[in-house]
């Protein structure tokens, strides 16, 4: 096999263990300095999940809490967090929560550290930096944002834009499975499927930077996620399953951080942007339909068939890649049903006529569509949405 040149960037430091969100505070404070901007959401604050970390950090340095982050964070929220950080004269930033809090933290650290023009930073490798020191602490097992160079913000009412740059990879990621014990079953299921999408799309990505490291860790991610997702959903207090999901999500994040995702995400973004469906569920709703569309491509079918055994070890892999691929996609769909997730766009109150606008909006996601194994036209996108409706 001829290897093309590739780059592989990832988070500098990674810590995993129960209780680490509190016990790592000495290391966190050394990284972030004496004035830490703590970015999170009101839900986590009200549940008390943030309290041990905030209390421990407060013994060591000054803390300013910004807890206005919402799902699919808006540019307004981001600018508000930046303003709070400027007034506080933050020396470092911690993002504590799901992908939304971590994405806001990445861009706040970037703008506070460089004072660069946010509008010029959108896109791939346009951010200049430097950024402030940054630590990320995930409380969901899905986005893998703690190890990705991407931050997604909702612009206006509907459009999502992203900054993609290794500059916004954090200095340190803290993976504490105890923080995920309180996740509701529906959120656990949707974020878990999101992580699986990251690994599947990274493995089959048409990106020139698709590489052996990303493919290897995508497989390891799917092993962990496949063997643990149902247990984590059905028994949310199972710490081993929660830990496997957190590591699986992180590995999938490392994979797609370097071999980028494609049409599943491109078609998921309008669902979230227009109808405010959570990102993981948006991915889940279009996943089987995009995979079936892609499976017409011989290489994509081969890639999906190679992954099948790692997610579903009982699947017979000796009957040809097209047949294995088809069964893999069917089993992915069945898994989503067993996890109790909505299966059709109409189940999340999306009207059928909206498929036309979503197809048009999906075409704006050129950063993602270029990585898809098979070219997606606007008509193709419309057909996929209508099949998913």
Task: Please report whether residue 84 resides in a domain.
Answer: yes
**5 domain residue, yes or no:** no
Question: Among 179, 211, 242, which residue terminates a domain?
Answer: 179
* High-pLDDT (> 90) share of the chain, %: 93
25 and 39 belong to one structural domain: yes
In a domain, 78, yes or no: yes
Please report which confidence band the pLDDT of residue 2 belongs to, taking 50, 70 and 90 as the band edges: low
What CATH number is attached to the domain comprising 279? Answer: 1.20.1090.10
Among 122, 153, 179, the domain-final residue is: 179
Tally of domains in the chain: 2
- Asked whether residue 322 is domain-assigned, the answer is yes
Which residues span the domain enclosing 43?
Answer: 13-179
Mean of all residue pLDDT scores within the chain:
95
pTM of the predicted model over 0.85: yes
| Phi, psi of 173, rounded to the nearest 5 degrees | -120, 130
- Asked whether 37 and 94 are in contact (CB, 8 A), the reply is yes
Same structural domain, 209 and 85: no
pLDDT, tens only, 144-203:
999 999 999 988 777 788 999 999 999 999 999 999 998 899 999 999 999 999 999 999
Q: Is residue 65 part of a domain?
A: yes
Looking at the structure, tell me whether residues 222 and 361 fall in a common domain: yes
Same domain, yes or no, for 161 and 188?
Answer: no
**pLDDT value, residue 4:** 84
188 and 158 co-located in one domain = no
Q: What is the DSSP letter of 320?
A: -
Q: How big is the CA angle at 98 (ends 291 and 285), to the nearest 5 degrees?
A: 25
Whether residues 175 and 189 fall in one domain: no
Residue whose structure tokens are 């896109």: 123
| Of 16, 248, 259, 261, the residue nearest 144 (C-alpha) | 248
Question: What angle in degrees, to the nearest 10, is found between the helix axes of 321-338 and 298-311?
Answer: 50
């Amino acid at each position: 096999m001829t290897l093309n040149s590739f780059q592989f960037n990832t988070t500098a430091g990674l810590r995993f263990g129960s209780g680490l969100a509190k016990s790592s505070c000495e290391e966190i404070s050394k990284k972030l300095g004496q004035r830490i901007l703590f970015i999170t959401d009101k839900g986590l604050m009200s549940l008390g999940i943030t309290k041990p970390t905030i209390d421990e950090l407060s013994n060591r340095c000054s803390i300013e809490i910004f807890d206005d982050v919402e799902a699919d964070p808006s540019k307004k929220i981001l600018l508000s967090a930046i303003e709070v950080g400027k007034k506080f004269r933050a020396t470092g930033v911690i993002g504590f929560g799901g992908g939304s809090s971590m994405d806001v933290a990445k861009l706040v650290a970037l703008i506070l550290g460089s004072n660069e023009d946010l509008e010029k930073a959108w896109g791939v490798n346009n951010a200049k930096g430097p950024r402030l020191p940054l630590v990320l602490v995930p409380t969901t097992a899905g986005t893998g944002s703690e190890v990705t160079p991407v931050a997604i913000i909702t612009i206006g009412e509907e459009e999502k834009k992203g900054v993609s740059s290794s500059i916004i990879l954090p200095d340190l990621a803290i993976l504490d499975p105890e923080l995920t014990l309180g996740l509701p079953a529906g959120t656990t299921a949707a974020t878990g499927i999101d992580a699986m999408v990251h690994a599947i799309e990274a493995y089959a990505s048409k990106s020139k930077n698709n590489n052996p490291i990303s493919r290897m860790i995508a497989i390891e991610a799917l092993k962990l996620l496949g063997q643990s997702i149902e247990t984590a959903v059905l028994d949310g207090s199972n710490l081993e399953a929660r830990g496997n999901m957190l590591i699986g999500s992180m590995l999938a994040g490392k994979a797609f951080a370097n071999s980028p995702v494609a049409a599943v995400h491109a078609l998921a973004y309008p669902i979230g942007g227009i109808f405010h469906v959570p990102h993981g569920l948006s991915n889940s709703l279009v996943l089987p339909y995009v995979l079936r569309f892609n499976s017409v491509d011989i290489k994509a079918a081969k890639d999906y068939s190679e992954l099948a055994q790692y997610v579903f070890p009982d699947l017979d892999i000796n009957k040809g890649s097209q047949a294995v691929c088809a069964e893999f996609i069917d089993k992915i769909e069945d898994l989503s049903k067993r996890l109790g997730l909505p299966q059709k766009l109409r189940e999340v109150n999306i009207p059928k006529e909206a498929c036309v606008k979503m197809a048009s909006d999906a075409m704006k996601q050129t950063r993602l569509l270029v990585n898809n194994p098979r070219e997606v036209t606007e008509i193709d996108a419309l057909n996929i949405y209508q099949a998913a409706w």
